[in-house]
Structure 1
Amino acid sequence: MSPAEFAAAQWTRATGAGVDPHEYRRVTDGLTSVADWGPAFHRTGHDYLGRAEDAGSSRSAGEYLLMAARWFHLATLAPYPYPDAHRAAGEADHALGRALTVLEPGARRVSGEGFTGWLRGPSDAPGTVVVVPGLDSAKEEFLDLVSALLARGLAVFAMDGPGQGVLAATTTFVPDYERIVGRAVDALGAARVGLVGLSLGGYFAARTAALEPRVAAVATVSGPFRLDWAELPPPVRDIMAQRAGGADAAHAFARDVDLAALAPRISAPLLVVDGGQDVIPGVTNGEPLARLAPHGTYLSVPHGDHLLGNARPDWLPRLSDHIAHALRGTPA
């Protein structure tokens, strides 16, 4: 794959994560090889750290730090193993923490066995939403989703779990992700919880909603209902092997990704969001999940791609309202 092809494939994901589309083009137009992706995005993150140091106000510094976090995270999406990927993930985590210290002094770092993240929002919120990332995503990728939930008066805990984000350097995926969310909910002291899972995080969120009784609302975005290892594209298998601790572990993990038996046990209101242009081989998308869940609703956006970064107005407000109404116990 050429650098132009890879950049085009990542376009809506990157801009959906909140980077400036014109800057994205300037950075990616300068790539002569796909191997240059990680270093170029890493450098751009450092450019934003420099802007934060030179900023004329603490607000501007915080905004530059948030943008640095995005670019550092995107550096980890290099199509081939990037030697500094774990360092970039650590710098994304550090930049996000510095930004929130400036912009939201009330934000609180919460960590425990197998998870870490930031709790944001009012202490008297009607519920706390846990945002669950996926295969190679992290808490720094979904800042706009977090902002939409915060704007509706909810508290939000955006997390990295085993094998994700800053924890990818020291941990690997676990099949029973509901245990991780349960520990996070214990640490948060939340009585009423919503879940939003994105990509593979959609599977984690749906599984948790079936098995964790404190979940009162759930939504998935581009989440798999089932995986077929033999049909998954080699790059997806390679990433899964990196995050799961080897090819055999990844194969076993993929075999467990099947919501057929768990979907009927999801008692919370469920919104399943899919993009009609999301056609990753080996992935069964979410329509069966919505159909089998007792209170499932299916939203398919015909022109949406994976994670629907090209169709945010078509799903983000509706998803945010779904979670807010369900946590408040008010009609949607």
Structure 2
Amino acid sequence: MSAAEFAAAQWSRATGAGIDPHEYRRVTDGLTSVADWGPSFVRTGLAYLERAEGAGSSVTTGEYLLTAARWFHLATLAPSAEDGRSAAAAADRALGRALVIREPGARRLTGEGFTGWLCGPADAPGTVVVVPGLDSAKEEFLDLVDALLARGLAVFAMDGPGQGVLAATSTLTAEYERVVGRVVDALGVPSVGLVGLSLGGYFAARSAALEPRVAAVATVSGPLRLDWAELPQPVRDIMARRCGGAGAAGEFADRVDLTDLARRIEAPLLVVDGGQDVIPGVTNGEPLARLAPHGTYLSVPHGDHLLGNARPDWLPYLTDHITHALIGGRA
């Protein structure tokens, strides 16, 4: 794949994550090969760190740090695993520095198989956990976090095993409900809402089926099931890196199947899919919504994977769904 093709494939994801589209084009137009992706995005992130140091106000400093975190995170999409490890650590540090400024009450929570930031009021009427996917991380979905915070909820944006800053020291696990259970323990709340994005949709739905403290759940571009043999080679390569080898990745993919678990999801479930999201070997979420006792399906015809090109069509609906399911008339 050429640099231009790779950049085009990541366009919607990058802009959906909050990257300025004009700057994205300026950075990616200068790439001569896909190997330049990681270093170029890291350099852009470092430039924002420099801007943060010279900013004239704490508000501007925080904004630059958040932008740096986004660029560092997108650098992890490079094919080089080494680039990904160092960039993920840089994204984690930049996000932490930004939240210290922007969210003085934010708390870092770390436990077995998870780390992340809890934001929002201490007396929030509900708490939502945002679950990333195969190669996403807590730095990617900050607009979702902001939309949930605006509705008065507390939000824990996390990295789990094999995700984000933890990818350097752990591998993906299909039994994500165990991670969610430890997260709920650490949060000290009786129940949570879950929002899972891409492969995180599988993690969230599985957790909702097996962890009774999940009171609301939504998935975005989450798979019902995976077929390892049909997955595109780039996806298999990423999964192999995140699972510790091709054999482990194939075994992991075989575990990703919600067909039987869907009926055990008692919490209100919203499944969001993009009509243009067609990945070989991935079954979209309509059967999940149909099989779940309280499932609702939202398909956005022009939406792509993660629907970065259609956020107004689903993001307010999803955040309202979670809010109403968690706190109802108190919203």
TM over 0.5: yes
Q: Which amino acid aligns with 2:313?
A: D
Partner Cα distance (2:130, 2:9) in 1: 24
Correspondence for 2:153? 154
Question: Are 1:77 and 2:72 an aligned pair?
Answer: no
1:234-249 map, 5 Å: 234-249=233-248
Deviations 1:292-317 (A, max 9, x none): 00000000000000000000000000
Correspondence for 1:202? 201
Q: CA deviation at 1:85?
A: 1.4
Partner Cα distance (2:151, 2:36) in 1: 40
Partner Cα distance (1:203, 1:197) in 2: 7
Judge conservation of contact 1:70–1:141 (CA < 8 Å) in 2: yes
1:111-122 map, 5 Å: 111-122=110-121
Judge conservation of contact 2:128–2:153 (CA < 8 Å) in 1: yes
Correspondence for 1:27? 27
Stretches (4+) displaced over 2 A: 329-332
Deviations 1:152-202 (A, max 9, x none): 000000000000000000000112100001101100101120000000000
1:223-234 map, 5 Å: 223-234=222-233
TM-score, with length taken from structure 1: 0.98
Judge conservation of contact 1:93–1:140 (CA < 8 Å) in 2: yes
SS of alignment partner, residue 139 of structure 2: helix
Query: Can you give the 5+ residue segments of structure 2 that lack an aligned partner in the other structure?
Result: none
Partner Cα distance (2:24, 2:81) in 1: 19
Q: CA deviation at 1:235?
A: 0.5
Deviations 1:15-47 (A, max 9, x none): 000010000000000001111000000000000
Judge conservation of contact 1:44–1:71 (CA < 8 Å) in 2: yes
Partner Cα distance (1:63, 1:262) in 2: 41
Judge conservation of contact 1:59–1:102 (CA < 8 Å) in 2: yes
Judge conservation of contact 1:38–1:82 (CA < 8 Å) in 2: no
1:303-314 map, 5 Å: 303-314=302-313
Correspondence for 1:134? 133
Partner Cα distance (2:299, 2:183) in 1: 30
Partner Cα distance (2:261, 2:50) in 1: 48
Correspondence for 1:259? 258
What's the RMSD between the two structures over aligned residues? 1.0
Q: Which amino acid aligns with 1:75?
A: A
TM-score, with length taken from structure 2: 0.99
Q: CA deviation at 1:84?
A: 2.3
SS of alignment partner, residue 68 of structure 1: helix
Query: Can you give the 5+ residue segments of structure 1 that lack an aligned partner in the other structure?
Result: none
Correspondence for 2:185? 186
Correspondence for 1:12? 12
1:45-56 map, 5 Å: 45-56=45-56
SS of alignment partner, residue 126 of structure 1: coil
SS of alignment partner, residue 84 of structure 1: helix
Work out the percentage of aligned pairs sharing the same amino acid.
82
Q: Which amino acid aligns with 1:308?
A: L
SS of alignment partner, residue 210 of structure 1: helix
Partner Cα distance (2:259, 2:87) in 1: 37
Partner Cα distance (2:145, 2:93) in 1: 18
SS of alignment partner, residue 273 of structure 2: strand
Judge conservation of contact 1:127–1:191 (CA < 8 Å) in 2: no
SS of alignment partner, residue 329 of structure 1: helix
Q: CA deviation at 1:331?
A: 10
Partner Cα distance (1:207, 1:97) in 2: 29
Correspondence for 1:107? 106
Q: Which amino acid aligns with 2:8?
A: A
Partner Cα distance (1:2, 1:247) in 2: 24
